[in-house]
Amino acid sequence: MQKLKRSGKVPRFRSEAAERAYWETHDTAGYVDWSKARPAAFPNLRPSTETISLRLPAGLLGELKTLANKRDVPYQSLLRVFLAERVAQERANEQAATVEQPRPLQSARASAPALPKRSRDEVLRDLNEFGKGRSLGGLTIRQLINEGRRF
């Protein structure tokens, strides 16, 4: 393995902006021996936060304060935890939906009732009517799905 030539010491910068601009256009390989790098831990760092104004119904805020009081934590901290948990749950649901495998067509056909063949024009006409706010054959989409009909 070839040793990289070090071009010298890291230059001094007058401001953080100047340093940022420099490193955007230069490679650190000439200044830092990354083979000697080790993971750094910053235990005292906290994630940056932003102040927001949020209007909640009085009843909901009262319930939140009651829950927080029972847990002996500030209600803002409890709300932050609840929001973080819900965001994580939504992310997991999105990932599960994209990973979910479609069911095999054979089993789906076996469980669904036989449907009459419809022409492309019939389907387009029905969809056009539905787009105008009319139902399909007097039935709602939910009723059509419950009956196992295609639309």
- pLDDT tens-digit profile of 62-82? 999 999 999 999 999 999 999
Express each pLDDT in 9-32 by its tens digit: 888 889 999 999 988 888 888 788
pLDDT of amino acid 67 = 92
Cβ–Cβ under 8 Å, residues 4 and 29:
yes
Q: In the chain, which ranges are continuous DSSP H helix?
A: 16-25, 58-71, 75-99, 105-111, 120-131, 141-147
Torsions phi, psi for 136 (to 5 deg): -90, 110
Residue with tokens 């706010």: 133
Q: Give me the numbers of helices (H) and strands (E) for the chain, helices first please.
A: 6, 0
* Residue 4 reports pLDDT greater than 50: no
Measured in whole angstroms, the distance separating CA 8 from the mean position of its chain's CA atoms is 44
Other Cβ atoms less than 10 A from the Cβ of 121: the count is 8
Confirm whether pTM is higher than 0.85.
Answer: no
